[in-house]
Structure 1
Amino acid sequence: MGTRKGIVYLVGAGPGDAGLLTLRGAECLARADVIVYDHLVNEALLCHASQNAERIYVGKRAGSHTMPQDEINKLLATHATQGKTVVRLKGGDPFLFGRGGEEALYLADHSVPFEVVPGVTSAIAVPAYAGIPVSQRGYNVSVHIITGHEAPEKSESDLDWKALARCEGTLVFLMGVANLDRIAKELIRHGRPSSTPCAVIRWGTLPEQTTVVAPLGEIAERVRAAQISPPAITVVGEVVRLREQLKWFERKPLFGVRVAVTRPPDQSRELIASLREAGADVLLTPTIEIHPRPLTEEVRKELELLHSYDWAVFTSANGVHIFFEYLGRMGQDARSLADLRIAAIGDKTAEALSQHGIHADVTPDRFVQEALASAIPVLSGDRVLIPRAAAARDALERDLTARGGKVRVLPLYDTRVCESGVTQLLRELREGRVHVVTFTSASTFESLAESAHDADLPQLLQNVLLASIGPITSAAITRKGCRVAIEASHHNAQGLAEAIIEFFTNERSRSALEETKEVSS
């Protein structure tokens, strides 16, 4: 068997919005053994990687370099020559002022295999998110992307300011905030009208996105007044005038909102998609992990006796999938449930059953145990099997037992604290980067509470909005002294997303009304 060959993928991470990573980039991350990433990379992208992948931060900020470029080059080559798949994750596009060319040349010189995965460049995407098309018929016939990061102590610029000032195209300066005074003065000195529309966009495509628009002659002063600091992009040209009509991103209901989702990744797709569609930046910080229990003889015995039950009651999609996985390992399938009536606690659990060819006979209007118990027409003496998590509320079995049912709870999996997700969430909370934290079950909150001291929890969460999927989850939150700001009327992922959107829509409507009152008075 031959020695495994390593490779380095130079992957463009895009401008910040996690949804702008390319499919090819996500594929590379999924199979990476090592990920070397920069300061401007959205860490939400790391959810595409295996939990076993080594993550190495080499971010650079002005005046602060975690690792010199020469060492980064050597790091990439070293891991690849050890037979590892390495992803070098770089903000924007790796070959556009990103030093990706230097890294590729180093790898080529050392005979290290590499591939380049282009990324969505901030030079085009950031203006687009601010409502500025870098090209528009009738406005310009060219676009020029320029580094704005020339050292101020240089006696002469490498840029041809005369050519830049006289061209009628759009100018996009990357990394130019510190030199904005010089950029504006040089353009004006060489013939660009001081009235030329100009925009500076900070943290484009993210909740912190801020845009300052002013004539070229005033832009530096306006940017200082707004306290704009890197990272930011400067756009110079007539296309800036289109911003007021085209600023689509800022009109989304969740623009400026960062939401932490605490559900496991495979159960969060619908919630994340709904929140991102509404303009939110989503952090996946799962606080729980699902661990299936072994297929023991006790479990086998119950599954072999399915025909003796009258009801099978499922309280989660996890329980459904693990249940059918065990049936499959025993050489059985959905036909084993032919003589039973089936109940599901909610639409997602019913949907999971349908994936295995089973239609739920009962699904309540409210997705809580009490409503499920009331919806099941159990008769005295009916045998009821409840495949579920080992630790769960017992309201369902108590109700069915009180009505004469003979209930057997079959624990199929354990819910445990996800240490990495909780650690990340606590860090984001302490850094003040989160606006909303969602909880889709009592266990998602209790796992966070376990890892934080009870006395500190209300203080840690006091400046964020807690969004709960329903009353049971809300009760778990309030028992710890924390306040629920948002509770879903429909107790599912879509209902939770809609409740968050409605909350911010109403808040912004109230703010706009207050501003109108202040102006009129």
Structure 2
Amino acid sequence: MYSKAKDGKSVARLKNGDPMIFARGGEELEYLQEKKIEVEIVPGLSSAISIPSLNKIPLTKRGVSSSLSILAGYGAGGKEPQWTGVGATAVVLMPVGNLSLVVEKLITSGKSANTLSALISSGSTEEEQLLISPLSSIVELAKVTGIESPSILVAGNVVNELLNIKGKTVAAFRPSNELERTRRLVEKAGGIPLIFEICDVEFSEYPKLKKALAKDWDYLVFMSPNGVRSASNLIDLTKFKTIAVGNRTKTKLEEHGCKKVIVPEQQSSAGVEELLKEKRGSALALRSPLAKEEIKGAENVTTYSIKLKNLSPIIDEYLSKKVDFTLLTSAGLLELLLESAKEKGKKARLTEKLNDSFVISIGRKTTEFTLTNDIWVNYELSKPSLESLFQRSVNE
């Protein structure tokens, strides 16, 4: 720039974003002024403020955040970043390659590990990807999803707004015995329910289930309330040590008189498997017929059957509606939907429609299956509980 300017040329230095925010604008200005070159700065629009706004994240909000810090994911020369006095909202540029350290620094600077964060890749482009997660799990989820640079990270309570379903349409594909519960939860949180009845759950005395329950087990493992209902028709559950995948299943067991129900710290299939390693006893896992993988460390048995509805009109209605949020509560049910859509030549449209909404996955297995089918997951529940999700909107 200097060599051309000293020859009397007018030189334009084009820069993405704002030339004075995490760019060389300040250094170049200082150098040129020292050389007596007249310089004009034309402000730009930094991704630090524009990308969050495009994703409806208010960086400041009355009663939520009155301070903002814009931080670099790397220090000078690639060294560890040095931050002090981080604001209520933190925006970190270039975080992905250094994400573990970025999260560690945010937490040591005062952010709670439960603080929601938004990782946004390729913002404002057709390739944009948005991932919401507590700081405690954003690093792991970034690896699972494969989110890449260029990206920014927004951390703070302002991110909670993205999970607020008030006035928004929430779609879900549910078995018949979960329809009303799901509808009530959405309505209580202020959302507009669009709940599709995808199948009936049928309970019967399966010979295999009855035979499996007749054996001497150290633990019975329940992966859903449906398993509790099925087994309770055949045995006295109070005579067994029980493990529940989550709190809702635990509550169902307690309704049947079970005491000291064990719930893994990580409420998921992986959490159950880790718990079984610790217990080292014989275990029977009562599973859904749609379960994608067996629980390792236990004998697995199907506890009920499902009867599918005609999925074609369900898919057509979903495609025709305005959908803000889509809840994916089962990898197995999603697989059936995609297979039906493929048979009708509508799989690409269904995938596109899902990606146009904010997709919420109930857990890691569902997340992984969803991603393998080119459907992006925006948020994964830390616990397999719709109640915890919708409580956020109630509290907003």
The TM-score with structure 2 as length reference comes to 0.52
Structure 1 residue 414 corresponds to structure 2 residue 313: no
Counterpart-to-counterpart distance in 2, 1:395 and 1:409: 6
Distance 1:262 1:359, change over 3 A: farther
The CA RMSD over aligned residues, in Å, is 2.8
Taking the TM superposition and a 5 Å limit, the aligned residue runs for 1:209-228 are: none
Selected match of 1:314 from 222, 237, 245: 222
Match of 1:279 in 2: 190
Distance 1:257 1:495, change over 3 A: same
- Per-residue CA deviation, residues 495-515 of structure 1 (Å, 9 max, x unaligned), is 33246789xx7xxxxxxxxxx
Counterpart-to-counterpart distance in 1, 2:195 and 2:314: 9
**RCO greater where, 1 or 2, for CA within 8 Å and sep 6 or more?**
2
Match of 1:367 in 2: 267
Selected match of 1:355 from 243, 252, 255: 255
Counterpart-to-counterpart distance in 2, 1:488 and 1:501: 17
Match of 1:22 in 2: none
Counterpart-to-counterpart distance in 2, 1:265 and 1:321: 15
Structure 1 residue 432 corresponds to structure 2 residue 332: no
Q: How many residues align?
A: 230
Structure 1 residue 304 corresponds to structure 2 residue 197: no
CA shift at 1:321, angstroms?
A: 0.2
Structure 1 residue 394 corresponds to structure 2 residue 394: no
Match of 1:494 in 2: 387
Structure 1 residue 263 corresponds to structure 2 residue 174: yes
Larger Rg: 1
CA contact (8 A) 2:253 2:261 kept: no
Counterpart-to-counterpart distance in 2, 1:391 and 1:432: 27
Distance 1:431 1:379, change over 3 A: closer
Counterpart-to-counterpart distance in 1, 2:244 and 2:256: 13
Taking the TM superposition and a 5 Å limit, the aligned residue runs for 1:182-197 are: none
CA contact (8 A) 1:466 1:484 kept: yes
Distance 1:394 1:448, change over 3 A: closer
Please state whether the residue corresponding to 2:295 is helix, strand or coil: helix
Unaligned runs of 5+ in 1: 1-251, 328-332, 401-406, 506-521
CA shift at 1:355, angstroms?
A: 1.5
Unaligned runs of 5+ in 2: 1-162
Selected match of 2:378 from 475, 482, 485: 485
- Per-residue CA deviation, residues 81-113 of structure 1 (Å, 9 max, x unaligned), is xxxxxxxxxxxxxxxxxxxxxxxxxxxxxxxxx
- Per-residue CA deviation, residues 474-499 of structure 1 (Å, 9 max, x unaligned), is 22211111112232233311133246
Selected match of 1:346 from 246, 249, 256: 246
Structure 1 residue 383 corresponds to structure 2 residue 278: no
Q: Output the amino acid matched with 2:377.
A: V
Q: Output the amino acid matched with 1:386.
A: A
CA contact (8 A) 1:469 1:488 kept: yes
Counterpart-to-counterpart distance in 1, 2:326 and 2:290: 23
Counterpart-to-counterpart distance in 2, 1:299 and 1:431: 41
CA shift at 1:416, angstroms?
A: 4.8
Match of 2:122 in 1: none
The TM-score with structure 1 as length reference comes to 0.40
- Per-residue CA deviation, residues 122-154 of structure 1 (Å, 9 max, x unaligned), is xxxxxxxxxxxxxxxxxxxxxxxxxxxxxxxxx
Identity of aligned pairs, percent? 22
- Per-residue CA deviation, residues 148-202 of structure 1 (Å, 9 max, x unaligned), is xxxxxxxxxxxxxxxxxxxxxxxxxxxxxxxxxxxxxxxxxxxxxxxxxxxxxxx
Please state whether the residue corresponding to 1:375 is helix, strand or coil: helix
Distance 1:268 1:367, change over 3 A: farther
Counterpart-to-counterpart distance in 2, 1:498 and 1:358: 27
Match of 1:403 in 2: none
